[in-house]
Amino acid sequence: MENTSKKPREKMKGIPAIIAGACAGATEITVTYPFESAKTRSQLGSQVTGGTRPVAKIWTGLYDGYTAAVSGSMVKTAVQFSSYHAFASALSGPDGKLSSTQSMACGFAAGVTEAVVAVTPFECVKTKIIHARKVQDSRMSTVSGAILSILRDRGPKGFFTAVVPTTLRQSVNASIKFSTYHKLTELARKRYDQEGKGLSTLVSSAIGSATGFVSAFTTQPLDVVKTRYNPFLSFISVF
């Protein structure tokens, strides 16, 4: 008798996973960057001055530092997912499955990797640009200007000034994100995917939204510390 059972879909690995992660990161930051910019300005104590600003200037201002952010997001997401899959492959059992604890451990390790390789240096440049434009310093309001300023003032180590709070934030965020996503997907498949056809786009989007909310809410205090912990903002205390 012919075996008609469906084979489980293979997980994306290698170069395709890196490319998919980079594209996902670029899409995410493009859509959410106005909120990210507003959040960073709020954490730095930015206040609107000079009366009513034209709508065009407000809109373009929300994308200050976008070039550094989208570059960093693409690298960050690619590193995060590729490293997560690498750690998951090492820890998973013969059936290829992970427990919630293993998923959290893989997420934590992936968070540390992405924080050191991508997030810390790119976040440093992005925050530098946003602050420079806030105080109307045109010399450091571009990616090249911010990079040269950091190198001139502190050397290469200047890109890793906030590596400790950033690593703490990213590792906790990734561990919560992957473990939450893993658990919610597991529960959703039991309820909505009994025939093994896969989850619908709506259910997958709902899981992603819930995962994003939980990870962002739980790590927000660490994000505030990370943003303020920069030597070129010495007049702002961490707390």
Amino acid at 25: G
What's the 3-state SS for 12-44? Answer: CCHHHHHHHHHHHHHHHHHHHHHHHHHHHHHHC
Of 88, 64, 80, the residue nearest 24 (C-alpha): 80
pTM of the model: 0.69
pLDDT at 4: 45
Mean pLDDT: which of 8-12, 95-99, 115-119 is highest?
115-119
Q: Note the maximum CA span of the chain.
A: 79
Of 155, 82, 78, 80, the residue nearest 121 (C-alpha): 155
List pLDDT tens digits, range 64-109.
Answer: 667 767 877 888 888 888 899 899 989 887 887 888 889 999 999 9
pLDDT at 51: 40
Please, what are the domains in the chain? Answer: 14-44+54-233 (1.50.40.10)
pLDDT at 236: 37
Pair 171, 163: CB distance under 8 Å:
no
Per-residue CA distances from 162 to 2, 32, 91 (Å): 59, 23, 30
